[in-house]
A = this chain, B = another copy of it.
Amino acid sequence: MKPVVPVLTALAVAGAFATVVHAQSPDRQIKYRQAALATMGYHFFGVLAPMAKGERPYDAAAAARSAKYVSEVSAMPWEGFGPGTDAGAPTKAKPEIWKDKARFDKLAQDMQIETAKLAKAAGTDLASLRTAVSATAKACTNCHDDFRAK
């Protein structure tokens, strides 16, 4: 087994993130889920949606890459909605999430199904991208309507 010291040293040197170590606090979970959703939002609303709307030229490689990222990150935010994370940092997440967690989780799963389709469709052609962007946007909305404050 490797000695612990090199790990500790490397981590101390990388210490820019030292305050993040106890990542399971409500504050850290809230900021984490917001970071993951913002990462996804950048590619979805900043790259793919403008292409779908014709505000940006369709580029199959860029679309495929952004859609892959959206699909990958779409699995990540949910562990940031643990018990007690309705408060602890500024958040638009409504308390209803933890009152009906089963429905929230289902909508999160539905969204991941759409982002997987998006990842397959985005690089095919503009029409396929449009269909998948529209379906994914609806999946976002389905959850935001009830569970995200305006």
Contacts and interface: CB of A to CB of B under 8 A. Distances in A.
B38 A31 contact: yes
Give the number of copies in the complex.
Answer: 2
Contacts of A150: 16
A134 B21 contact: no
B134 A13 contact: no
Interface residues of A, number: 58
Interface string A69-101: 100110110001000000000000000000000
B69 A45 contact: no
10 contacts: A7-B49, A7-B52, A7-B53, A10-B133, A10-B138, A13-B138, A14-B138, A21-B45, A69-B76, A73-B76
